[in-house]
Structure 1
Amino acid sequence: MSFRRLLPCAAIVPLLFGACAAPAVEADEGAGPVEVVTTFYPLQFATEQVGGPDVTVTDLTPPGTEPHDLELTPRQVAAIADADLVVYLAGLQPAVDRAIAENATGTVLEAGALVPAPPPGADHADEPAVEPGHTEEPGHDHDHGGRDPHLWLDPENMELIGSGIAAALSDLDPDDAAGYADRDATFDARLTDLDERFRTGLARCETRAFITSHEAFGHLAARYDLEQIAIRGLSADEEPSPARIAAVQHAARDHDIDTIFYETLVSPEVSESVARDLGLRTAVLDPIEGLADASTGADYFSLMDANLAALRGANRCR
């Protein structure tokens, strides 16, 4: 499997009235590694994989912190201003989006522009119905534009992100372009293997539906022909309505589901409550927004493998 594509023009945001045709500003020869700021764990991981020893990566979201809730310190804002390259995902972290728009002076790479839009319905697979006239509960301010931002849970998307980062680094640091290309190829190969493990492991299952605490798994579900049923919408901290919980309970019975998934960086209280009401068990399905003490793996690949094992168990795959 190879997903290589040319870096989309829209992915790189010119800061000083530039256009995509304008040449990138190269790092000074002999100035040391390229200074990169990433905004949360999956982008940090991808950058480290393709950047290797030729980059220094500063990630803005500390381990154990829910990325949506991040508020930046003055030092972090200064890091954005000083970075040769900033890699972020628009709409995921409003405070970060504002800080980048107001302070970044180097190259800015928007990871979402590297990934094609999903087919209609892929972001909201089997979303339970709610009461008429009701959409999202108030009290959350995360603007995803109706699109599931968890792009990295599809290995193809993760490869496209990695290749986009490699291309941006090669523009900034052409002397080390061969190293970025080699590491990107290695990253691609590992993602190919991961994709094959998911395809094989989820090929024969008694049920293709799973219940999770919020709509973080639309890309994964679309990739592997699964049905995501979410207790919450795209915002992990919204309070689900009674009608939505009732719809989830009904779906659990219809699909013969025996497991309710929760996440490591979000309180499991709602998932545990739904599971108790139905006499079901709970387990972790990690959206891999960040690492935490409770994480079931050490890095992106081990966390994805843990997710595969959890889905195989819950969906009774053979």
Structure 2
Amino acid sequence: MNVRRLIPVSAASAAVALGLVALSACSASSAADKNDGKLHVVASFYPLQYLTQEIGGSHVSVTNLTKPGVEPHDLELSPKQTVGLSDADAIVYLKGLQPAVDEAIKQSGVKHTADVATMTSLETHGTEVDGHHHTTGDNASRSESEAGLDPHIWLDPVKYAEIAKGVDKTLAAADPAHRADYRKNTDALVKKLDALNTQYVDGLRNRTSDTFVTTHAAFGYLAERYGLTEEAISGIDPESEPSISRMKDLHALAEQHHVSTVFFETITSPDTAKTLASDLHVKTDVLDPLEGITDKSRGRDYIQVMQSNLVALQKALGAK
């Protein structure tokens, strides 16, 4: 039986019409929002939302595509979000981190787009898992040319400041009338990030260990900046289960480097970290990769959470 024949032509036409009206309503709603006179910017996830809000101040309205508590790598855009992108005045994103966003931006036609990966140097970081070197970048979600590059540049305050200067240029190009204000706000943000970098340098100067253990290999840039060594339980994927071989390696590493703490994250399961910590008879604590702010975050914004991360590292590494 041909099921399509059971649907009256008038009903099918009505359904199509309703779909078009819904899409039009999305666009109309986005366009109506622009009557506030602000520059409407879409940021792909929290670290870029924070930067844009700090730099744009009262002149911008920022929409974050990634809801709090959602793993940015796993983001899938709704039809409304995809349609709404074309109404943005500017888009700030990190190419390769969220494939769904990259594809939607290509189709959006927005003139002012900022790929922050081009505003600083990306590097390859990794950890030894089962005798193989695994990179911290999510290779399954990155193009072949980008595979192996670590996307977690925002966890290094120095690189984050470089990104801020690039975002400043994008906002200024999209809204030249407020160029001076954007530059002033950027300078103020860079000063805060410079101060944060100094806090890390001073706070980690006198430590008894250089090695820390995390569930997710997200802290490669931070470790490199401050002369630390990150050992990840699962390497690339924070949700994957480590092998018996990897767990044995971590037992040896923990004893050799006097590891006192196993770190877990706020938006992924802590079970594996807690199991390893129990086996090692050490503590657990949170080291937040800052992919989003939730009610579980130890701070209300990027600076506060990074300061909380510093305190956690100081305790774990015996810094005085």
- The interval holding the TM-score normalised by the smaller chain is 0.7 to 0.9
Q: Greater helix percent: which structure?
A: 2
Q: Is 1:181 the equivalent of 2:148?
A: no
Mapped to 2, the partners of 1:244 and 1:222 lie a distance apart of: 23
Give the letter aligned to residue 37 of structure 1: V
Displacement of 1:140 in angstroms is 8.4
Partner of 1:82: 87
Larger Rg: 2
Matched-pair contact (CA < 8 Å) for 1:82–1:106? no
Give the letter aligned to residue 130 of structure 2: V
Displacement of 1:106 in angstroms is 2.8
Give the letter aligned to residue 128 of structure 1: E
Matched-pair contact (CA < 8 Å) for 1:140–1:235? no
- Secondary structure at the counterpart of residue 82 of structure 1: coil
Q: Is 1:117 the equivalent of 2:117?
A: no
Which one of the candidate residues 259, 265, 278 is aligned to 2:280? 278
Displacement of 1:98 in angstroms is 1.7
Which one of the candidate residues 249, 253, 256 is aligned to 1:254? 256
Matched-pair contact (CA < 8 Å) for 1:115–1:161? yes
Deviations, residues 97-128 of structure 1 (Å, cap 9, x unaligned)? 2211223423211111101234xx6x22xx23
Structure 1 length-normalised TM = 0.84
Deviations, residues 242-273 of structure 1 (Å, cap 9, x unaligned)? 22222122111110101000000111111111
Give the letter aligned to residue 237 of structure 1: E
Matched-pair contact (CA < 8 Å) for 2:128–2:134? no
Partner of 1:200: 202
Cα distance change, pair 97–312 in 1 and its aligned pair in 2 (3 A): same
Displacement of 1:92 in angstroms is 1.2
Quote the sequence identity (%). 39
Partner of 1:301: 303
Partner of 2:16: none
- Secondary structure at the counterpart of residue 65 of structure 1: coil
Which one of the candidate residues 45, 65, 69 is aligned to 2:70? 65
Deviations, residues 148-197 of structure 1 (Å, cap 9, x unaligned)? 21101111111111111111111111111000000000001100110000
Deviations, residues 268-290 of structure 1 (Å, cap 9, x unaligned)? 11111111111111000000000
Matched-pair contact (CA < 8 Å) for 2:91–2:110? no
- Higher RCO structure (Cα 8 Å, ≥6 apart): 1
Mapped to 1, the partners of 2:111 and 2:204 lie a distance apart of: 42
Unaligned ranges ≥5, structure 1: 1-29
Mapped to 2, the partners of 1:279 and 1:94 lie a distance apart of: 40
Partner of 1:47: 52
Matched-pair contact (CA < 8 Å) for 2:122–2:153? no
Which one of the candidate residues 156, 159, 164 is aligned to 1:154? 156
Give the letter aligned to residue 156 of structure 2: D
Question: Which piece of structure 1 moves more, 75-84 or 211-220?
Answer: 75-84
Mapped to 2, the partners of 1:244 and 1:93 lie a distance apart of: 28
Unaligned ranges ≥5, structure 2: 1-34
Give the letter aligned to residue 84 of structure 1: D
Mapped to 2, the partners of 1:68 and 1:129 lie a distance apart of: 21
Mapped to 2, the partners of 1:181 and 1:135 lie a distance apart of: 39
Deviations, residues 25-75 of structure 1 (Å, cap 9, x unaligned)? xxxxx9821110001000000000001111110110111111112111111
